[in-house]
Chains A and B, each alone.
Chain A
Amino acid sequence: MSEIFPHILEGLQIVILLFAAPVFAGWVKTLKCWFQGRTTAGVLQPYRDLMKLFHKDIVLAENASWIFRFTPYVVFGSAVLAGGIIPILSVDLPLSATADIIALISLFTIARFFTALAGMDIGTAFGGMGSSREKTIASMAEPAMLMAIFTVSLVCKSTSLSQMVQVIAHGEFILRPSLAFALLSFVLIALAETGRIPVDNPATHLELTMIHEGMILEYSGRHLALIEWAGMMKLFLFATLGIAAFFPWGIAAANDFPALYIAALSLIAKLTATGIGLVMIEIGLAKMRLFRVPEFLGSSFLFATLGMLSYFMLE
């Protein structure tokens, strides 16, 4: 029983990821409406949107190749797999032993790579623009992301996420300036990676300003549903990754039920707060000019570097 339990938990995490991600996305939208003084469609609206898309037919561009058709599954699959690596409820995950933080970031990169290819595959101007912008941002966001996470790795002496969480959550509590810098850096990158304001606007209808939406503009039906769903999962994963790396307290160390209850409750509380934080950022800012994004990501790289330096100098 105790041997199979982590595997069940692994499965449970993925189920949670699949079904909690739309609710989290719905929660962010709901909060946004409240902050803007509007009535909301409720936290379950993303489910209805997904249902609608799954029921619709697919319209394929005549010159779409296998890349275009294959991409939604790659994107969805990699998001699901990432859900098996990040400790959401428990640190005792079998998959986590096989893949560390570098593998996790590579998973996101694979999804992005295919999305960018698919954007160019159908040959429309908007797809190409979206892909080129996405790659520009990725080329700066990914190193900064690695730097930020490596700072946490240095503190924990491991690149395994489970190990990192274990050390921070259950080790001795020390206020570390390096982690504060890394957190700041991580928040900036997470905004860019998940396509939120001020880097990208997930709600825009203006084709010329789109980044992520530009690449997926030609998708429809279940393809679009999978990509949208994966997008929600990515937002959820970045939220839980941030929580796991910087605020892991409450996560279950041993796989017993009381600990899991506490882990689930603390996760809900932390996600709720993360949503509020995210919406506060998005509400108060306009989208920046595209050529300001490098400065934005540059400062996030700088914060990550400062975090690493302060680890060596102060800790």
Chain B
Amino acid sequence: MNKLEDAIISLLASHEVMDEGQYPKSITSFTVPRDRFIDAARALKKADARLVAEWATDERNFGKGFGIYTCYNKDTEYLIVRAYAPLEDPTFPSLTKKFVSAWRFERQMKSLMGVIPVGHPDQRPWIKHEDWPEDAYPLRKDFDPSCPMPRVHGEYQWIRAEGEGVHEIAVGPVHAGIIEPGHFRFQAVGEDVLNLEERLGYVHKGIEKRFEALSWDEGARLAGRVSGDTTVAHALAYCRAIEAMTSFNVPERGLWLRALMLERERIANHIGDIGAISNDASFAFLYYQFMRLKEGFLRTNLNFFGHRFMMDRVVLGGVAVNINADGINEIYSELDRFEKEFERLVIIYDESPSLEDRVRDAGILKPEMAKDLGVVGFVARASGQRLDCRIQSAFPPYDRIVTKMTVLNSGDVHARAWVRIEEIRDSVNLIREMLRTLPLGEVKTSFKTPSPDVSGFSTVEGWRGEIVYWVQSGPKGEINRCMVRDPSSVCWIAVEQAIHGNIVPDFPLCNKSFNQSYSGHDL
């Protein structure tokens, strides 16, 4: 029962074009006329779909103009709708009024690809800062990244609040701690936040453009560097998209090891974050203890996977590392040790009233708001959304080793921390189960490159949430476009909403509970 597909088919009737060349075959793709693009969005909104991503491609080398793509999801169904805009008239109807998450996607498409969302309420650039020439569109094929650009002068138009006692607090882009750069502009009365506006793009590295100059194998390395703390999940999502394009089957042991690394990455990041949340409430004891536990994981990673963050271990065709009996035993005993200490620390977290006073009812993201914004990952699960790619698009071994989904409704800092505590517990069990059922055999087989003009799609539940890759091969069988959608691309906007009704000094704690990636967002 594919509800979204039915919704589109009944809408389009005669116009319907089901695309070939979109892999895996479980994903349906439709091409609609440009003027019906918004109708499709309306129909899908009615069918209760979530906008996963919106992106543009330059398909002039196929003789087609600019492709405008949207991806929707409901339950286990993912669906792609696309339309084309010619070079002479690179416009498309904006979906922002239907789906709030399209807000920044469309600003980004306009900034980087030069396709104009008609009807979008906010035409300011996004990611691309004003010192770029306005007509420099780096994702277009005729843009030469090696050519230096003139620096121009411009000013960003901030949202302003006025009135007696209203003042503005500018924070960043360089922060006092060792974190990534991003600018936050508060409008406040006394300590109460009227509005928060984020400005990102300070770590824009041109990753999507860079993919187009790389070979398929090198792409996996670059994907692993989109956001350093999520290197396994990004590389995995990239590889799965490419492997889908060639209908390639990864050896079972490779699949299991990939999932094993994915869960280890999840545990390491989650424990670090719970510690960091405690630290932002000045409860430093938990911070140091959780950091110690995290360090233990990283060292085991180094010993048995050859890299503390397991970077470049997921490659096309499988994994680049095998694990022996010693490694398996060591991971088992590490988990036993970890579990004991972790549970004791969780008791301290849970039973410290002063900490509880800080984390409860702070930074609430209401379930309705979470749904409207289309957030994913633990942010969504802490606000009542049942979203987890390990269940929604369960790839092996998750189809056999089933994840337990923890969903809370309060949407506050505590909920986001607690969802992660439960996920750590679950991941520990998953790893045990994976090790118990670890198949024998190869971890990697040789990989053949995709044929021209096909596209692959994949979603992977990284520790922050749903990571989406959509990769298209060009006329010569090269990478024509690689769309990366980190969870941060949709979750950053939720930080702006969650801070309403809070006071300025609570912002760092709220922000830390989201802990979105700047690098993954800015690309």
Contact = CB atoms under 8 A, between A and B. Distances in A.
- Are A and B interaction partners? yes
Nearest to A199: B282
Interface in B316-370: 352, 354-355, 357-358, 362
A35 interface: yes
Interface size band for B: 20 to 34
B503 A207 contact: no
Contacts of A209: 280, 505, 508
Contacts of B352: 284-286
Contact of A208 (B167, B283, B362, B507): B507
The 10 closest A-B pairs by CB, nearest first: A287-B282, A125-B169, A205-B176, A286-B283, A201-B282, A286-B355, A286-B281, A206-B508, A286-B354, A209-B505
Pick from B167, B285, B505 the residue with the most CB of A within 10 Å.
B505
20 contacts: A37-B288, A37-B292, A125-B167, A125-B168, A129-B169, A129-B504, A132-B190, A197-B282, A201-B282, A203-B282, A205-B177, A206-B176, A206-B177, A206-B508, A208-B171, A208-B505, A283-B284, A285-B352, A287-B358, A289-B362
A290 B284 contact: no
B507 A289 contact: no
B503 A291 contact: yes
Interface size band for A: 20 to 34
Contact of A37 (B191, B278, B289, B505): B289
Interface in B174-219: 175-177, 190-191
Nearest to B169: A125
A46 B123 CA distance: 52
Contacts of A35: 285
A184 to B, nearest CB: 18
A35 B504 CA distance: 30
Interface in A280-308: 283-292
B271 to A, nearest CB: 16
A37 B344 CA distance: 15
Given A125-B168, A207-B175, 6 more contacts: A207-B171, A209-B508, A283-B284, A284-B352, A289-B358, A290-B506
A294 B346 CA distance: 30
Pick from A128, A201, A206 the residue with the most CB of B within 10 Å.
A206
B183 to A, nearest CB: 13
B282 to A, nearest CB: 4
Contact of B281 (A36, A283, A287): A287
A288 B177 contact: no
B281 A291 contact: no
Pick from A209, A284, A288, A291 the residue with the most CB of B within 10 Å.
A209
Interface in A194-233: 197-198, 201, 203-209
Contact of B508 (A36, A208, A283): A208
Contacts of A129: 169, 504
Nearest to B503: A290
B170 interface: yes
Interface string A145-165: 000000000000000000000
Contacts of B285: 35-36, 283
B191 A291 contact: yes
Interface string A104-131: 0000000000000000000001101100
A130 to B, nearest CB: 11
B358 A286 contact: yes
Contacts of B278: 286
Interface in A14-59: 32, 35-38
B191 to A, nearest CB: 6
Nearest to B508: A206
A252 B355 CA distance: 43
B191 A290 contact: yes
A30 to B, nearest CB: 14
Pick from B167, B168, B281, B362 the residue with the most CB of A within 10 Å.
B281
Nearest to B280: A206
Nearest to B191: A290
Contacts of B176: 205-207
Contacts of A288: 354, 357-358
B264 to A, nearest CB: 24
A288 B284 CA distance: 14
Nearest to B288: A36
B508 to A, nearest CB: 4
A287 B177 CA distance: 18
B354 A125 contact: no
Contacts of B507: 208
Interface in A257-315: 283-292
A127 B190 CA distance: 14
Contact of A204 (B169, B171, B282): B282
A287 B277 CA distance: 12
A80 B177 CA distance: 33
Contacts of A203: 282, 284
